[in-house]
Chain A
Amino acid sequence: GQGVEQPDNLMSVEGTFARVNCTYSTSGFNGLSWYQQREGHAPVFLSYVVLDGLKDSGHFSTFLSRSNGYSYLLLTELQIKDSASYLCAVRETGNTRKLIFGLGTTLQVQP
């Protein structure tokens, strides 16, 4: 059906990396955004992708495959403070600028 899907939880180790996956099936596609949300706080924008391929932004990188309806957020050199929820959101075509959010993946970074 229509929607944005993410795994609920992900665990990784400080100093390594974590890949947060997102799959989507929506009515049209006009870009995908990633947000970080800490417990009790608002979502904070991380990255926006609209073209296929890897977008390297240093600590956070994003990959998009429109034909597969798939994206991932890659966090490298993990720190304990990267523990948070990561939200994937797809913007549908049209003038509304509406975002369809996934439920988020809670990343836990262990020492």
Chain B
Amino acid sequence: EAAVTQSPRSKVAVTGGKVTLSCHQTNNHDYMYWYRQDTGHGLRLIHYSYVADSTEKGDIPDGYKASRPSQENFSLILELASLSQTAVYFCASSGGLGQDTQYFGPGTRLLVL
């Protein structure tokens, strides 16, 4: 069974503060992704990575940075949190060629005040 964990599971942050969301996978997958989910927008891709020490911009990268220090770990960083970044954030991982299923972590509920 695929295993993707996220921390924290929920967080309250202040506007302008720094927030780091962490993701860890034990699937030995090359690909990792960060999504946000909002009512009316569904799941949207923020950043992704297909190898350690490299990240790529997704569809809505503005205001977010990502870091992939190892195959297992992928972080999402909000340097200056804003009210509009209140959302549920999901991390996912998938394998290489022929292993296209994305396995999702439990999500982090972020509230920016």
Contact = CB atoms under 8 A, between A and B. Distances in A.
Interface stretch (B13-21, B63-71, B74-82, B97-105): B97-105
B34 interface: no
Interface residues of B, number: 21
A101 B33 CA distance: 14
Contact of B90 (A42, A89, A96): A42
B109 to A, nearest CB: 9
Contact of A48 (B40, B101, B105): B101
SS class of chain B's interface: helix, strand, loop or mixed? Answer: strand
Contacts of A48: 100-101
B88 to A, nearest CB: 9
A42 B107 contact: yes
Interface residues of A, number: 21
Contact of A45 (B58, B90, B102, B105): B102
SS class of chain A's interface: helix, strand, loop or mixed? Answer: loop
B106 A45 contact: no
B43 A43 contact: yes
Given A95-B50, A96-B48, A87 B101 contact: no
Max chain B C-beta neighbours (<10 A), residue from A48, A87, A98: A98
A103 B102 contact: no
A81 interface: no
17 contacts: A33-B101, A41-B106, A42-B104, A43-B90, A45-B102, A48-B100, A48-B101, A89-B43, A96-B48, A97-B48, A97-B102, A99-B45, A101-B43, A101-B44, A102-B42, A103-B42, A104-B42
In the A-B complex, the 4 residue pairs with the closest CB atoms: A42-B104, A103-B42, A101-B43, A101-B42
Interface of A: 30-31, 33, 41-45, 48, 87, 89, 91, 95-99, 101-104
